[in-house]
Amino acid sequence: MRRAARVDSNHSEIVKVFRQLGCSVLSLASLGKGVPDLLVAVHGITWLVEVKAGKGKENALQTAWGASWQGSRALVRDTEDVELLVKRMLTSRF
């Protein structure tokens, strides 16, 4: 049985800012196994987002999972990163 998910200290604040910017957010932190922390969508565009505090780095499972993922993925550390990612999501064209 998996223990309770560990999340970075800024996880709640990051989720709050995504939502303030009009995004839908689902926490995936409890999945573990390298899966990014958040599923974030805005205007039909969906990204997986890893949250790290300060200079935190992805662990080996996260790096391996990310290398095999073929969809859109990002790492955010602070509210400025969130704002930049949402702008990128809104201007992406498929």
Element of type H or E holding 85: helix 79-91
Pick the CATH number of 11-91 from 1.10.10.10, 3.40.50.280, 1.10.1040.10, 3.40.1350.10: 3.40.1350.10
User: Which residue ranges make up each domain of the chain?
Assistant: 11-91
By CB neighbour count within 10 A (0-12 exposed, 13-18 middle, 19+ buried), where does 86 fall? Answer: buried
pLDDT in tens, the chain (94 residues): 445 567 878 999 999 999 999 999 999 999 999 999 999 999 999 999 999 999 999 999 999 999 999 999 999 999 999 999 999 999 986 6
pLDDT at site 31: 93
Q: Quote the crossing angle between the two packed helices 11-20 and 79-91, to the nearest 10°.
A: 40
Element of type H or E holding 65: helix 60-68
Q: How many CB atoms lie within 10 A of CB 45?
A: 17
| Entry pTM | 0.89
pLDDT at site 14: 96
pLDDT at site 2: 47
For residue 51, which of 3, 20, 85, 8 has the smallest C-alpha distance?
A: 8
